[in-house]
Structure 1
Amino acid sequence: MIQQGVLKARYGKRSGINVASEQSMRDEEQKRLTEVLEQVEKRLDKELSVLGDRRGDVVGIRQEFWDDVRMNFSDATEMGETWTSIMQQKELLIERERSHRVAFEAVERLARMHDNPYFARIDFKEDGAESAEQIYIGRSSLSSEDGETYWVYDWRAPVSSLFYDQEPGPAAFDTPGGEIIGDLALKRQFVIRGGKLKHVFDTNETVGDDILQAVLSERSDTSMKSIVATIQKEQNQIIRDERHRLIVVQGAAGSGKTSAALQRVAYLLYRYRDSLTPEQIVLFSPNPVFKGYVSRVLPDLGEANMQQKTFRELIEARIGRRFEVEDLFAQTERLAAEEGTAEGEAREKAVRYKGSEHYFRTVEKYLERLSEEGMRFKPWRFRGDVIASAEEMSRYYYGIRASEGFGTRAAKLRKWLLERLASWVESQLDEPWVEEAAELADDEDIQRAYVKVRRKGGFRDSAFDDEEQMAEILMRQAAESAVEPLRRAAKALRFLDPVGVYLELFRSRSLFKACAPDGNLPDGWEWMAARAEETFGRKAVDHEDATPLQYIMDAIEGFRKVEGEIKHLFVDEAQDYSPFQAAYLRRRFPRARMTVLGDFNQAIYVQSQESGGFGGWTRLMAAEDTKVWKLGTSYRSTRPIVDFSKRILPDEDASGIRPFERDGEAPVVTICPDSFELANKIAEDIGRLLKDGHGTIGVIAKTAREGGNAAALLKERLPDEVPVTHVSGGSANLPRGVSVLPSYLAKGIEFDAVVVWDASAVRYGREKDRKLLYTVCTRALHVLHVYSAGTLSPWLAER
């Protein structure tokens, strides 16, 4: 809650308005708010009535669906009319369900407006106009039924950009029809809660500090909130950037990167509502917890959610059906467990290389060679017979022009194989195994055969060959049924051998050298080759091999058309993607405009730590199509927490981070003699934090194993009524209360209070741990308490 006295002091100092004029302004705005709420209530009553009617229509049609369908299957004509009748009823039901959904969404939108119809007002006088127009801005628009009066403008409307970008005085904004020039006479902001005007004040700033302070001082929730009332000028430029095909946002922790990205999605859906749907937008989230955390933002703005997935889900969808695929978190845990060993160092070297641009270019060159030679195939065998050998497939495949591409070649080979299979089945109909299989036919097979003979006129007029026809059909059915798994495998392109293709890179030194851009083998190639043979041999795939294998699979099978229809791709925590993964996403979604967001100071994974923070993102498109935005102000945490966290980083990395002027208590560092005492003190601390009203408390450990131990120790020490949740990699929702989680699952999430579990030199003592510790500390909104079992991390001790 904003303190009235503070508001008045700041408001008066900034604008020089006396108490009388302030009261007059408040009375004017209260009158306006009352009028708007009356309009909202009027529209809400109407929409509720429509919603009730639509619900009744849907229920009625569903209940009477078959009563209104004329059923007649006596002949082909009657069957056609019956089918037409069914489809008419279906279309009617779909139309009524759509109308019901539209009415329901309208009721939801109006209900939200009744609570908070708008948050800003601007007075803008266009050049040549007689007077200024009063423009009220909210989450969604509200106009009179005749469309003549606009009570509230949507925050995404072109004119609304004046509120975010301009200060009073000469101003202009862009529209699809061109630039509108005029004078911005007034900027006013409101705090409206529950339909009541709490505060109103004028400002000369883009978004006044008062309202921003109020929002930032609120308690955290288990899901991210919309920020349309507090969008900053630089965030608004990112949201409305329509010129560039690739937008890269480098932002400090808590600078509003993700919030701006989600508002950008809402803006694009509004701006291109006739040509863009939520299904054509994909957001890649860092983990399932984050997916749940941001899931309410777009619905709160009246928009349907875009597609949301993790990179792991993208890989698992194809490779996961055949192999056990290691994820990034499991890889991180294993690297941590093997730290300092020869095996661990070799694995780390492989992880770095297989995520590099060098390796991506090597794989691309390999694919070029595969268009001419070297494709591997699995021979087609059945009951010991070779239906098609790998050599025959290769001859047919490379007999198709290379210019037709991998996908077309694979499709033509599939057709050829299915024809070959059909011929082979025909040749087997007189074989004993077919006759034996036919004799084992069940009642359903026999009935199916009988129907086929009957349709041909059989079993009438004592036809002498009916039984013979039945036998032939049963044998054909038996043969077809036996080879059905082979047919399904052909349709799924299982005759290709992408794993064999991939492994060939590590089986042939000369092949790898010929494909490498510099003609050299990477350091550790022999270890990588042995590791790949071992893991693939047990049907497992290391995380660093998953994306290269997926790329080869997609390329030789043909990229899917549906992904070519994606128009916008958003990638959050982009600094965690390897250069290989970034390039792969560009290939997989070739037509999509891309918005990637991250913070190179939070690049905590081995695969991306040497990629300059963004893993080659800025080189994915031409320079003229690329725009890099930088957000340096951290809004999430209080100034003391931001200052504390900055000092963990090297000076050159911390120099661009600026705290927003929000005061709070200084972070507290506590050194304990051992883990037992650390658990006791943290349990006591959590009790105090809960008593102080902090609804979300994050206890952040370095690894998942450590997090599991921490959760167990805290549950032993805290009362049963205190909710303690161990958040794992598979969790999709962030609960209220105490969440215990590993460092890498905390990325992108914020808590009222953060308790760092064991920031000792043992846990965070190496140079590469700096960014991880920084990431952990920057999750705190209001309170940061750091505990160490023994000697404190050097990155904190040096303070």
Structure 2
Amino acid sequence: MVSKDKEALHLEGVISLIDVIHDELTGELSRTTGELIEERRHALAELGSEISDDTQIEYSQVLPSLKMQEEIQVNRQDVAGSLSRMKDRPYFGAVTITDDDAGREKLYIGLNSLKDPSTNDLIIYDWRTPVASTYYANHLGPVTYNVPDVGARTVDVNERIQLVIEDGRLLDVFDSELYIGDDALQHLLVDTAKDRMKAIVSTIQQDQNEIIRQTSAKDMLVLGPPGSGKTSIAMQRIAYLLYLHRHKMSADNMLFITPNEMFGDYIGEVLPELGEASINATTFFRLRYKLGRRNEYETLFKHIERMRHAGAEEQHDFTLKSSEAMLAALDRTIAQLAERELKFRTVRIKEEPFATTEELEYLFYDKFKSSPIDTRLKKIQVELTPRYHKALDKAIKERTKALKKVHTYIGTDDELERRAKQEMTKQFRTLKNYIAHLQFVNIERIYLDTLKRLDSGTRNRTMAALKNRALNYEDIAPLLYLNVMIKGLQKEPKIQHLIIDEVQDYSPVQLACISAVFPNARKTMLGDKHQLVHPFPVNTLDQLNAIELTKSYRSTVQITEFTKQLIDNDTTESLGVQGREVTSISFEAFKEQLKTLDSESAAIISRDAAHAEAINAALAMPDVTLLTHDQFIFTKGKLIMPNYMSKGFEFSYVFIIDYDGYDQEQDKFLLYTLASRATRSLTLVGKED
């Protein structure tokens, strides 16, 4: 039986050791910082602030030494920061194992490793170390774990304990054979809804652990119900991969494609909490910038609202542009362009032709025909560049001549030449960018021709939109796919790993577009085929092999059971805490309840943006915040939002307004998505007065 007193004494000893190491490191930092400042001062005094030919060699010898010392100093500062964080919670669990080689040993598991400097022994093991996998097994006895470049090792797990530590104090300790699920451990799940997503390292389950540590070179698809920890698993997986490949991969080589702009902010604290740098996050909509600013594109949220009221033609166009048939047609178009039908635009300077369509076609199909498509275009680019410089030089000379003919004094000859150069370079900038981005290739015409082969009506409606320079959300993926695949530009080869959340919302064309933009990236894709807010979802998940999670930890048993009934789901297993029943109340009763609600995690969910504004006006409460389409920062408090904006987030309290106004059959997946946002309380509210 585990002894709380013994564990408390051990914790005191560890914290004391952390204090000693931290104090020594702080003193070392203070001393070396002074030395580094003095060395910089000495270098400037000896060599001067300007680099001359005489001092260049001396600088080349001194600078690498200074740079190395600065890097060591930054590393010391990082370690000192890590030690400061470790004092509050040095570890969260321990596992006692018996190894044939090392015998019986107790390993404490935390966010970071810690060595005893006097013995060089590890006294805390980073949760990402191979042996820490034994802690996440859901049974005692023989457990096998993998060591990279070594292979499988088997040990006996004799004991596993969980420790609840806050502010350096041991609050509780549990001896657990089943890692989570028994009543004694449910308090770990009591308050999961925060203002930001948090790390789940201390509550990783065995099935989650296997996903996090997956090292296969193949893309991975993880499906699971709300509260199964999919997004948290992804963040832990990023931290694990950064640890595993720390010498060849950094946070800059990873990217999270989030379902909306707020979500990037929502997950922003997880990796720093794990001691890793945050990775960049983006949305699919942001990829439209790779198409330039020639056209405006409909946002995702406006797209959803439009499609909810779309007529037959709009529904048809969206479904076609998002389909497997569309992707196949795009690939056929690209394949045939090597032989025929690549569309070019005449390049002009003002109104004068700079390179005609006929000339560009000759260069592409005759002069450079032996090269691949993207190489041919680059050769045309090379061909046009000297011509651009010649035209620019001519324009500068003509402008200089014109300025010199001005009768009043406006500058010296040198000044006039500089002015002419600035004016003409600015004027020719559009042409320069046109050549650099291969804009003489008419991607829009190629897109229209592809649509024509599928449906002339869709093609005609899209052509009208192009004339107005206002395209729909579903046009982004096919246009960008053509742009990247034909021109070979706008790729991001440095990204080695992608996390794609809510993957069930992506069409085959969007997924192919993402693969084209990030050609070197393996993908971890996360989704739930039942969480749908789009009125016309395009399901691509059935064609992919998936790892399926079935346990839900987030919401109370009552909320999870309610969501399961909405879609006749009998596979999800609820491991949440017991809570209050889902209730239905009037809008007036809701207003009174909201006045006294003391929570920084409450979502008031409306049908759409207009409905959200109406609710906000009806409530007129100063502590309630209306979230709009242009919201980039996730905020805590009592929030009103359109239903599609709530996807991906979790809240302690959720109120679905005008619940009876939804069609229980047609909107069942939408309601399932909304209801599963709640972790502790779900209230179904009547229509506002």
CA-CA distance at 1:492 after TM superposition: 2.7
Name the residue aligned to 1:779: 677
Question: Any residues of structure 2 matched to 1:762-777 within 5 Å, and which?
Answer: 764-765=662-663, 767-777=665-675
CA-CA distance at 1:708 after TM superposition: 2.3
Name the residue aligned to 2:566: 648
CA distance in 1, matches of 2:155, 2:33: 48
- Of all paired residues, the percent bearing the same amino acid is 29
Change (3 A) 1:384 1:288: closer
159-168 or 779-788, which moves further after superposition? 159-168
Q: State the Cα deviation string for residues 131-175 of structure 1 (Å, max 9, x = none).
A: 301111111110122663111001111111011125221222211
2:614 maps to amino acid: N
Name the residue aligned to 2:450: 505
CA-CA distance at 1:320 after TM superposition: 5.3
Could you say what secondary structure the match of 1:399 adopts?
helix
CA-CA distance at 1:604 after TM superposition: 2.2
* Aligned with residue 4 of structure 2, among 22, 26, 32: 26
163-172 or 544-553, which moves further after superposition? 163-172
2:128 maps to amino acid: R
Question: Any residues of structure 2 matched to 1:30-69 within 5 Å, and which?
Answer: 30-53=8-31, 69=47
Name the residue aligned to 1:493: 438
CA distance in 1, matches of 2:132, 2:628: 42
Pairing 1:132–2:104 present: yes
2:551 maps to amino acid: T
Change (3 A) 1:404 1:133: farther
CA distance in 1, matches of 2:413, 2:524: 56
CA distance in 1, matches of 2:412, 2:328: 55
CA-CA distance at 1:412 after TM superposition: 1.1
CA-CA distance at 1:689 after TM superposition: 2.5
CA-CA distance at 1:704 after TM superposition: 2.0
Pairing 1:248–2:221 present: yes
CA-CA distance at 1:198 after TM superposition: 1.1
The structure whose Rg is larger is 1
Alignment check: 8 A CA contact 1:124 1:184 kept: yes
2:594 maps to amino acid: I
Pairing 1:745–2:645 present: yes
* Aligned with residue 555 of structure 1, among 485, 503, 506: 485
Alignment check: 8 A CA contact 1:282 1:309 kept: yes
CA distance in 2, matches of 1:198, 1:754: 31
Question: Any residues of structure 2 matched to 1:607-622 within 5 Å, and which?
Answer: 609-611=537-539, 614=541, 616=543, 618=544
Could you say what secondary structure the match of 2:348 adopts?
strand
Could you say what secondary structure the match of 2:201 adopts?
coil
Alignment check: 8 A CA contact 1:604 1:768 kept: no
CA distance in 1, matches of 2:527, 2:607: 21
CA-CA distance at 1:187 after TM superposition: 1.1
Alignment check: 8 A CA contact 1:438 1:478 kept: no
Name the residue aligned to 2:414: 446
CA-CA distance at 1:564 after TM superposition: 2.2
Q: State the Cα deviation string for residues 7-65 of structure 1 (Å, max 9, x = none).
A: xxxxxxxxxx5xxxx5xx12221221111111111122123334445665677788899
* Aligned with residue 590 of structure 2, among 671, 677, 682: 682
CA distance in 1, matches of 2:176, 2:605: 40
Name the residue aligned to 1:435: 401
1:689 maps to amino acid: L
Alignment check: 8 A CA contact 2:258 2:501 kept: yes
* Aligned with residue 185 of structure 1, among 136, 152, 158: 158
Instruction: Give the paired residue count.
Output: 686
Could you say what secondary structure the match of 2:584 adopts?
strand
Alignment check: 8 A CA contact 2:485 2:516 kept: no
Question: Any residues of structure 2 matched to 1:546-585 within 5 Å, and which?
Answer: 546-560=476-490, 563-585=492-514
TM-score of the superposition, structure 1-length normalised? 0.80
Change (3 A) 1:729 1:104: farther
1:499 maps to amino acid: E
Could you say what secondary structure the match of 2:530 adopts?
helix
Alignment check: 8 A CA contact 1:438 1:474 kept: no
Could you say what secondary structure the match of 2:660 adopts?
coil
CA distance in 1, matches of 2:298, 2:352: 37
Name the residue aligned to 2:601: 696
Q: Could you say what the CA RMSD is over the residues aligned between the two structures, in angstroms?
A: 2.9
Change (3 A) 1:766 1:58: farther
Alignment check: 8 A CA contact 1:352 1:606 kept: no
Could you say what secondary structure the match of 1:263 adopts?
helix
CA distance in 1, matches of 2:134, 2:442: 57
CA distance in 2, matches of 1:65, 1:537: 63
CA distance in 2, matches of 1:476, 1:641: 69
Q: State the Cα deviation string for residues 448-476 of structure 1 (Å, max 9, x = none).
A: 96xxxxxxxxxxxxxxxxxxxxxxx9988
* Aligned with residue 727 of structure 1, among 627, 638, 641: 627
CA distance in 2, matches of 1:478, 1:751: 56
CA distance in 2, matches of 1:258, 1:435: 64
CA-CA distance at 1:228 after TM superposition: 0.7
Structure 2, unmatched stretches of 5+, are none
Q: State the Cα deviation string for residues 386-422 of structure 1 (Å, max 9, x = none).
A: 2321110111122355563333222211111122334
Alignment check: 8 A CA contact 2:603 2:653 kept: yes
Q: State the Cα deviation string for residues 526-559 of structure 1 (Å, max 9, x = none).
A: 4322221221111112111111011111122214
213-222 or 43-52, which moves further after superposition? 43-52
Change (3 A) 1:655 1:379: same
CA-CA distance at 1:423 after TM superposition: 4.4
CA distance in 1, matches of 2:369, 2:602: 58
Change (3 A) 1:334 1:396: same
Could you say what secondary structure the match of 1:268 adopts?
helix
* Aligned with residue 274 of structure 2, among 296, 301, 323: 301
Structure 1, unmatched stretches of 5+, are 1-16, 73-77, 450-472, 513-520, 619-626, 673-677, 792-799
CA distance in 2, matches of 1:70, 1:550: 52
* Aligned with residue 106 of structure 1, among 79, 82, 89: 79
CA distance in 1, matches of 2:633, 2:40: 35
* Aligned with residue 330 of structure 1, among 297, 302, 307: 302
Change (3 A) 1:766 1:661: closer
CA distance in 1, matches of 2:284, 2:38: 44
Name the residue aligned to 2:329: 362
Alignment check: 8 A CA contact 1:437 1:478 kept: no
Name the residue aligned to 2:615: 710
Pairing 1:235–2:208 present: yes
TM-score of the superposition, structure 2-length normalised? 0.92
Question: Any residues of structure 2 matched to 1:162-241 within 5 Å, and which?
Answer: 162-176=134-148, 177-207=150-180, 209=182, 212-218=185-191, 220-241=193-214
Change (3 A) 1:558 1:442: farther
CA-CA distance at 1:685 after TM superposition: 1.6
Alignment check: 8 A CA contact 1:700 1:756 kept: yes
Alignment check: 8 A CA contact 2:138 2:177 kept: no
Change (3 A) 1:184 1:479: closer
1:232 maps to amino acid: Q
